[in-house]
Amino acid sequence: MGLISLTHALWAQPVTDVKIDTDGSVHMPAQSVPVSEFLSPEGKAYLAEHLVGMTNPDSQKLVNGVPALIAGYLDRQRELFPVQKEDTTIGAVHAVIYQPADGIPPENRNKVLINLHGGGFSGCWLGCAELESLPIAHLGRIKVVSLDYRQGPDYRFPAASEDVAAAYRELLKTYRPENIGIYGCSAGGMLTGMAVAWFQQHDLPRPGAIGILCAGVAPTGAAFGGDANYFTMPMGEGRVLPPPSADSNDSIVGGLGYFAGTDPRNPLIAPTSDPAVLAKFPPTMIVSATRGFELSNAVYTHIQLAKLDVPAELYVWEGMFHGFFYNPDVPESRECFDLIIKFFNKWLGKA
């Protein structure tokens, strides 16, 4: 009865200036969107700070390879999450190994996580690698290997996939595949799924589990595609995407120089394009947020995995935005860290 009453109440509201085209396109009037009441007080302040910062062009200037808007979070993470750090090469790929400062407990000594950093396939090494690796290595008490994979503009697809495969092949000499996890945020989340598809084509065993964070692995239009392009970009990033033209071939793939000349539906780029590839995925964790511009792609990726009976877990943080967990001082980020660690603890080592 409550749902029926709510429906009647909604229909009783005065009609606003919303116009619907025959093809289902919706034209909405300008409106104000407040910060979600479900966010923690720290989360509310963080969202406001992020949105105001995104309107400042200086926020995107690089500070030691990291956008100024998030550079402070890196300093804070280094303070909160002490680790042992080793610069090395794995399978001819430059990498940095992070281990908890007080050592790895016995239950994790035969396990390793590979981190694939974000940065649009064009940068953010080493900064984004540390933002994604420090909390997981320290809090999860596990070794994290972050790969300095090849990116644009100097390299093109499939260079990054080749690098991940080379490092993975080398790690397989020490670790069983079911004891290796792979995760990454944004471009790194995309690359995580791409790497699993690449492994299949090159006869490498699948890893024990993967985390596709702030991303999905579906072919898209502009940005990450779907409804999220239109409602999360202004609410999460303070900007609006231009409407696609009728003959537009724009896509997140086409918009990234690393993918120049590729087919966005190639399953080695967008694994959801081929159910046979997707069906062989390991247990997969997908992380997004209601203001994350990857939300639609993440949701779509999750349902495609679930349809194929691949163990898949989708976590969406209310009120947060793309890559929100880089800031370690908000409860929502700590929740995310905890769930990432629980996910890999649950699945790694399961043959």
Please report, in angstroms and rounded to a whole number, the separation of the first and last CA atoms in the chain. 48
Superfamily of domain 62-240+248-347: Alpha/Beta hydrolase fold, catalytic domain (3.40.50.1820)
Q: Are 330 and 42 in contact (CB under 8 A)?
A: yes
3-class secondary structure per residue, 277-321: HHCCCCCEEEEEEEECCCHHHHHHHHHHHHHCCCCEEEEEEEEEE
Which pLDDT score is estimated for 256? Answer: 81
Q: For residue 218, what are its two tokens? A: 């579906």
Which pLDDT score is estimated for 28? Answer: 85
Which pLDDT score is estimated for 195? Answer: 99
For the chain, give every domain's residue range: 62-240+248-347
Which pLDDT score is estimated for 79? Answer: 98
Q: Determine how β-strand 143-147 pairs with β-strand 93-100.
A: antiparallel
Place of tokens 């069983």: 176
For 287-317, letters b (16+ CB in 10 Å) and e give bbbbbbbbbbbbbbbbebbeebebebbbbeb
Going from the first residue of the chain to its last (351 residues), give the mean pLDDT of each consecutive group of 10, the final group possibly shorter.
58 73 89 96 98 90 84 96 99 99 98 98 96 99 99 97 99 99 98 99 99 95 84 90 59 75 95 98 99 97 99 99 98 99 98 66
Q: Are 145 and 114 in contact (CB under 8 A)?
A: yes
Which pLDDT score is estimated for 243? Answer: 67
Which pLDDT score is estimated for 218? Answer: 96
Q: Where are the alpha helices (DSSP H) in 99-153?
A: 127-140
Q: Where are the alpha helices (DSSP H) in the chain?
A: 2-12, 41-54, 68-80, 127-140, 159-171, 187-201, 228-232, 275-278, 295-307, 331-347
> How far apart are the C-alpha atoms of 339 and 252, rounded to whole Å?
28
> How far apart are the C-alpha atoms of 148 and 59, rounded to whole Å?
24
